A = this chain, B = another copy of it.
């Protein structure tokens, strides 16, 4: 006869933001006991009557107040049965994007601190969260090349140079500015606005908007977004 199943199920969230030409991830500081402090991904146990994605939303709302522009299941971590030393916990990880340009994260509470960390300055995290984060970064990078999720990291209206920088920074690649522009424009998924950048250096730059409706329409007709680099 089998023993009763005694496995807990949790969700963890990797929230990415892009600001100051850098990719950031949201971490919280967990306090175990008095001196034991660890930065960790936001997350927690799933409630009995709650869907997995609702659990992620709830945990994020409890710990931060970010407004997600995109969320997707990443992977379920349950092969290392001692990833949490106290109990067996299986974690379903989700990654999400926010427009970080215009965002206040929740004020610190007694229990927790919340903070953006630059992607190349991540400390040692609790549990297997460094591994989870690596997987999220790698997924973000590849998704960026075949779906237009870069726009979910930018403000509603953005400069072409912002988009270009975002791609260069996250994918860590050089890119020909002119070919990149030509390619994206050829897709016809951007809308020009009448507005111009407030930045007062060089030739004034138009602000663009991503036309999601148009993108969906094209996609239904077999269009496939793709950004490749040398």
A interface residue numbers (CB < 8 A to B): 2-3, 5-9, 45-53, 73, 75-76, 78-81, 88, 90, 92
A-B contact pairs, 18 of them (CB 8 A): A3-B48, A5-B8, A5-B47, A7-B9, A7-B46, A9-B78, A9-B90, A46-B90, A48-B88, A49-B88, A51-B78, A51-B80, A51-B81, A52-B76, A52-B78, A52-B90, A73-B75, A76-B92
Q: Give the number of times this chain occurs in the complex, counting copies.
A: 2
Contact indicator A52/B73 (Cβ below 8 Å): no
The smallest beta-carbon distance between A76 and chain B, in angstroms, is 4
Once the chains are docked, how many angstroms separate the CA of A50 from the CA of B79? 8
* In the complex, residue of chain B having the shortest beta-carbon distance to the beta carbon of A4: B48
Residues of B close to A51: CB separation below 8 A = 78-81
Tell me the minimal C-beta distance from A71 to chain B in angstroms: 12
A73 to B52, CA, bound (A): 17
- Please indicate the chain B residues that have their CB under 8 angstroms from the CB of A88 in the complex: 48-49
Residue of B nearest to A146 (CB): B146
* Chain B residues whose C-beta falls within 8 Å of the C-beta of A80 in the assembled complex: 51
Min CB gap A141→B, angstroms: 14
The CA of A21 and the CA of B193, in the complex, are separated in Å by 53
B81 in contact with A50 (CB, 8 Å): yes
Known: A46-B90, A49-B81. 9 other contacts (CB 8 A): A3-B48, A5-B9, A5-B47, A5-B48, A9-B9, A9-B90, A48-B88, A51-B80, A51-B81
